[in-house]
Structure 1
Amino acid sequence: MRNININILIPATAFLLSLSVWAQNSNDVKNEDFDILIKGAYVFDGSGKDSVRYDVGVRGDRIAYVGKSSEALKAKTVINGKGRYLAPGFIDPHTHYKRQLNHKDKKERALLRALMQGVTTVFEGNDGSSPWPVGKTLDEWGETGIGPNAALFVGHNTIRRKVLGYRDVQPSGEEMEIMKGMVDRGMKEGAFGLSTGLFYTPGFYSTTEEVIALAKVAAAHGGIYDTHQRDEGSQNIGVVNSVKEVLEIAEKAGIHAHISHIKVAGPKAWGKSVELVRMIDEARAGGLEVTANLYPYIASNTGLSSALIPAWARDGGVKAMRPRFGRQELRDSILKGIQASIQARTADPGKFMLSSREAQYNGKTLEQIAREWNMTPEEAVIEICKESSPSVFSFMMIEEDVERFMQQPWVMIGSDGGTGHPRGFGSFARVLEEYVGNRKVISMSRAIHKSSYLTAQTMGIKKRGLIKEGYYADIVLFDPKNIKANSTFEDGLQLASGMDCVLVNGQVVIRRGKWEGILSGQALKYN
């Protein structure tokens, strides 16, 4: 394909082009007016099929026409798509953008880190932590305005904290009914499903039976079960047993289970992607609805204490954890627990990089800090967590596993994006740039499908994720040679580049790679 240097936007009156007489459907569109008309792009419709060179017309917030015409169609604005790819806006099923979406600053609410990747819809409330009440947040987003569309899960950890606190306890019958009632309320207020973070406190303390009972409530509303599973490597029950738990919950609750995100973490787990794929394929063949998302990086990002401090020492939250560091009778056990976590995640203190606003930690590895402080890495973890709560990048995955998961038809793209890790600014761009363009792991059509319609189908989002008449006009236009994920582990705040044009609900929000100052996203409610 030739790289044609053209202006993306041209006046409609200046555009005359003869096209072959052929239309995708039988509707007469010859004299129909559009607000926006995108001409001559290679259209990937999101279904996984290869591209076709089409014109796409937008009226209001919907796609009104997809096809070819022998006459120039009229529109207020014509976008010349020649030589570029047109696709549905990408849908991110796993994010941590709540602070930005709730921000007073309009530019923060625009969530440019998502829009510049072509992401036009994001999910919040993942890992079991959601705003509460769900309906209040959705209403606020609708009132204040947001850049992309945004949807919510109702979070198990949030509910458990409100009913039971951070304690390692099990709910009484009455408390269980309260928790079920809260899930029911969240679903009625618009949540798309129940999310859990069984790796994190207090979700870590819950039993499988508790989760099944709550998932049944979400299932009764048609929602899904979205889970950061209990173990992704070998830190507690092991990743294979953890996936078995996910499948048990799906079967007994009668619910679509979505692993958010799928990985095998740490040397002891490397290569187990083969076994997990087999297990999930067998479950799907047996009738279970099971899907997953992944982010295209080999390092995770979470709080240092969550990553390395043993769960029993975190019982009761940070306020209860820190005094335990000073109790001599507990110190050896805590140090041994930290050592076991290091071995399980990377087996190398040099593969833990801290991310913090505090300069004394930011960008340094655990090994470096321990050497500077003249102590063991385990002792350094305690000293850091006594006063601070930095995040940590754990380089604990290998590319072979990432690529194997990415190639599965039931795996979609997500970011787990927040602040600091490059995934929040570059996941979708990196898939196109690296795994499609450079490595040829998946095709462009499959990558777009995994970033759009597969996610819309999985989550239950109606009328989004396809380039199809009647669907919402969430659209991206780009030259694949220009797509760059610019964020790095050293500088994770760099916006992606290469999106020529991004539409959200029919409005151009990114034009020639620049934000137009528009907040056209909608707060999405299930059903």
Structure 2
Amino acid sequence: MAAGITLVAAAGVALAQGGSPEPAADLILRGGTVYPGNAAPFKGDVAIRGDRIVYVGPKAPGTAKKIIDATGMIVAPGFIDTHTHVNGALASGDPAARLVMPFLTQGVTTAFIGVDGGGDPDVARTFGRDSGAKGGEGEAALGQSSRDYGINFATYVGLGAVRLKVIGPDDRAPTPEELAKMQGLVSTAMCQGALGLSTGLFYAPQSFAKRDEVVALARAAAEKGGIYDSHLRDESSYTIGLKGAVAEAIEIGREAGIPVHIAHIKALGVDVQGQAKAIIDQVEAAQKAGQIIHADQYPWSASGTGLSAALIPRWAQNGGRRALLERFENPSVMAKMRPEIADNLRRRGGPASLLITSGPADAEGKTLEQIAKARGIDPIDAAIAILKQREAGVASFNQSEADIAAFMNRPWVVTSSDASQGHPRYYASFARKYANYVRDKQVIDLRAFIDRSTAVTADMFSLDGRGHLKAGAFADVIMFDPARFAPRADYIHPALFSTGMRTVVVNGVIAIENGEPTGAAGGRPLPRQPKPGSCR
């Protein structure tokens, strides 16, 4: 009960005018079922003063400026989303932006950006700090942000962004000088607070990077204490296969001496469905051999990607979009490309399995099959016609529920959204995981859901003071109604807010109250402290 002593002491230190004790806390969530994170739940209170939790236990002593009745509610640490594609929403400094609200209405108080190799090497700029700031010993060494944020966020430096900056979109290896420059960009980003190196080896031009190049950049991140986060080179059977891609990620981690995080782990497509157990065995064998490996997962059977990434062979993307458009007009090149597009469409489950979520207005909300029939053309020609107009986003229905459940049950797989516009996972991933896989299907229990959305995640990524409800931790706290917490977004209506999240507190600031946004901004950038002495 040390936390309670701390709170009582605070009450007795300062007296308001007239001799009345100042309230011991700014906010008490009273009488809820508290899930502290990696600990058994209990009925009790959570008290907050400033940006910190000051008490977690059966009954908070003293009074508070504000008391919220949590009877019948679940009280938990704020959820942590390890994989999102809404960099602008989190780094813009606009706390009232509609782009931030999908996270808050699901209880997400911290999210990671810069994933899949897209992280800007200028991490200081991403954090709203002086780009000349150097890392060092402590938060102050990384500079201060002048912006207000809706939620907390951390960022990676991305292989794709680094490669484009130094090499461009071409399919070639870096020269020794270019590789050294790329390593320097990664090192600088780490000193500015990057979580580590992210890669999207499935996507051109990152797919052109060979393993030795990736190892060299991962080693630069490892020297500063970072993590290697990877969208695998192949989640299906496009190139080296799912098992081969997992083996490559494990080997990169081993050679670079860096912890490995597998992004949105899955078995994608008809050729690899049913391989979840084999992938789990691969990962757990490496863990037993001493490697640190973990993963995240979004709770949807449809992935989200670009139409070109899903269907167009990588060689055809060499040189970027302009070169691809020129290839579309070359009959001899198309004679080579069409059979490969057809095979990619087959492994994705056919044209009925690809729903256009963004792109030309007349294509959005329709499957590739529907578009092809309406235009009276072949599905491949329909896809090419769309891509000639602009890149399109797709929801690709390609996973089995058995594989999803198998991954979800592993203690090293945490929750993520892979949030992107046009897919319901942006607005509803945490709500759907609870409603569908905890409450309805009982694939995992409530504590496992909460722990692997909070404490387990925070501990994996060394987010000190986050992910746990305990005295001294940052006050990222949520309260939701277990009977009403549910998604509203679906594949046809992907931008509907989830329901049932009653209270969200971000660093002590109430962002959701009585289920409604307050517009207040409590979020902060969360720079990762580099390894001591590595950035001098």
- State whether TM-score is above 0.5: yes
Counterpart code for 2:33: Y
Shift of 1:110: 6.6
Indicate the SS of the match to 1:509.
strand
1:36 aligns with 2:39: no
Structure 2 vs 1, CA of residues 275 and 104 (structure 1 numbering), >3 Å: closer, same or farther? Answer: closer
Which residue in 2 is equivalent to 1:208? Answer: 211
What CA deviation, in whole Å up to 9, does each residue of 1:409-463 have, x standing for no partner? 0000000002110001100011111111001111111100110111111122111
The match for 2:5 among 15, 27, 32 is 27
* Aligned residue in 2 for 1:423: 425
Q: How does 1:70-109 map to 2 (within 5 A)?
A: 73-103=62-92, 106-108=95-97
Q: Find the residue that maps to 1:143 and give its secondary structure.
A: coil
- Provide closer, same or farther for how the CA distance between residues 146 and 29 of structure 1 changes in structure 2, counting only shifts above 3 A: closer
What residue number does 1:441 align with? 443
Structure 1 residue corresponding to 2:111, chosen from 105, 122, 129: 122
Tell me which amino acid in the other structure corresponds to 2:471: E
Shift in Å, 1:25: 5.7
Is the Cα contact below 8 Å between 2:359 and 2:390 reproduced in 1?
A: no
Deviates more, 1:249-258 or 1:132-141: 132-141
How far is the alpha carbon of 1:373 from its aligned partner? Answer: 2.2
Secondary structure of the residue that 2:511 maps to in structure 1?
strand
Is 99-108 or 485-494 further displaced after alignment?
Answer: 99-108
Partner of 1:45: 36
Give the count of matched residue pairs. Answer: 502
Instruction: Compute the RMSD of aligned alpha carbons.
Output: 1.5
Is the alpha carbon distance of 1:408 and 1:371 closer, same or farther for their aligned partners in structure 2, counting shifts above 3 Å?
A: same
Q: Are 2:469 and 1:467 equivalent residues in the alignment?
A: yes
Aligned to 2:136: none
Unaligned runs of 5+ in 1: 1-22
Q: 1:501, 1:513 within 8 Å by CA — same for their partners in 2? A: yes
Q: Does 1:67 align with 2:69?
A: no
Specify the SS of the correspondent of 1:139: coil
CA contact (8 A) 1:109 1:147 kept: no
CA contact (8 A) 1:101 1:146 kept: yes
Residues 127/41 of structure 1: CA separation in 2 closer, same or farther (3 Å cut): same
Return the alpha-carbon distance in structure 2 between the equivalents of residues 379 and 66 of structure 1: 60
Matches within 5 A, 1:278-357: 278-346=281-349, 348-356=350-358
Displacement, 1:176?
0.4
Q: Distance in 2 between matches of 1:251 and 1:452?
A: 27
TM-score where L is the length of structure 1:
0.93
The CA distance in 2 between the partners of 1:28 and 1:394, in whole Å, is 52
**Equivalent position amino acid for 1:186 in 2:** A
Number of the residue aligned with 1:14:
none
Aligned to 1:165: 168
CA contact (8 A) 1:39 1:78 kept: yes
1:521 & 1:452 partners in 2: Cα distance?
16
1:56 aligns with 2:58: no
Residue 497 of structure 2: aligned partner: 495
The separation in 2 between residues aligned to 1:34 and 1:104, in whole angstroms, is 28
- 1:331 maps to a residue whose letter is M
Residue 237 (structure 2) pairs with residue 234 (structure 1): yes
Instruction: Provide the C-alpha distance between the structure 2 equivalents of 1:526 and 1:471, rounded to a whole number of angstroms.
Output: 17
Q: What does 1:165-184 align with in structure 2 at a 5 Å threshold?
A: 165-184=168-187
Going from structure 1 to structure 2, the CA distance change for 1:24 and 1:343 (only over 3 Å counts) comes to farther
Residue of structure 2 in register with 1:269 after alignment = 272
After superposition, give the CA deviation of every residue in 1:7-59 in whole Å (9 maximum; x if it has no partner).
xxxxxxxxxxxxxxxx4767364463111111111110111x33111211111
Q: 1:33-91 CA deviation, whole Å, 9 max, x = no partner?
A: 111111111110111x331112111111000111234x852111111111111000000
CA drift at 1:381: 1.5
Q: What displacement does 1:196 show?
A: 0.1
Q: Which whole-Å CA distance do the structure 2 matches of 1:132 and 1:393 have between them?
A: 29
After TM superposition, the score normalised by the length of structure 2 is 0.91
- Give the alignment partner of residue 153 of structure 2, picking from 150, 155, 164: 150
Amino acid at match of 1:157: G
Aligned to 1:8: none
3-state SS of paired residue (2:335): helix
> Which position in structure 1 is the counterpart of 2:128?
139
Check if 1:365 corresponds to 2:358: no
* Structure 2: gaps spanning 5 or more residues: 12-23, 130-143, 530-536
Paired residues of 1:102 and 1:109 also in contact (CA < 8 A): no
1:243 shift after superposition: 0.2
Give the SS at the match of 1:394.
strand
Measured at CA, do residues 169 and 145 of structure 1 come closer, stay the same or move farther in structure 2, by a change above 3 Å?
A: same
1:173-193, Cα deviation, whole Å (9 max, x unpaired): 000000000000110011011
Question: What secondary structure sits across from 1:297 in the alignment?
Answer: coil
Checking the alignment, whether the CA contact within 8 Å between 2:359 and 2:393 is kept in structure 1 is: no
Partner of 1:112: 101
User: What residue number does 1:13 align with?
Assistant: none
Query: Identity across aligned pairs (percent)?
Result: 38
In 1, distance between residues paired with 2:314 and 2:84? Answer: 24
Partner-residue secondary structure (3-state), 1:53: strand
Task: Measure the CA separation in 2 of the matches of 1:366 and 1:246.
Answer: 33
- C-alpha contact (below 8 Å) 1:120/1:149 kept by paired residues: yes
1:235-254 superposed matches below 5 A: 235-254=238-257
Name the CA distance, whole Å, in 2 between partners of 1:517 and 1:444.
29
Q: SS at the partner of 1:233? A: coil
- Could you tell me how far apart the structure 1 residues matched to 2:374 and 2:71 are? 56
Query: Are the aligned partners of 1:507 and 1:520 in contact in 2 as well (CA < 8 Å)?
Result: yes
What letter corresponds to residue 94 of structure 1 in structure 2?
H
2:488 maps to which of 486, 489, 510: 486
Post-superposition Cα deviations, 1:294-338, rounded to whole Å, max 9, x if no partner, equal 000000111111111111111011111101100111011111111
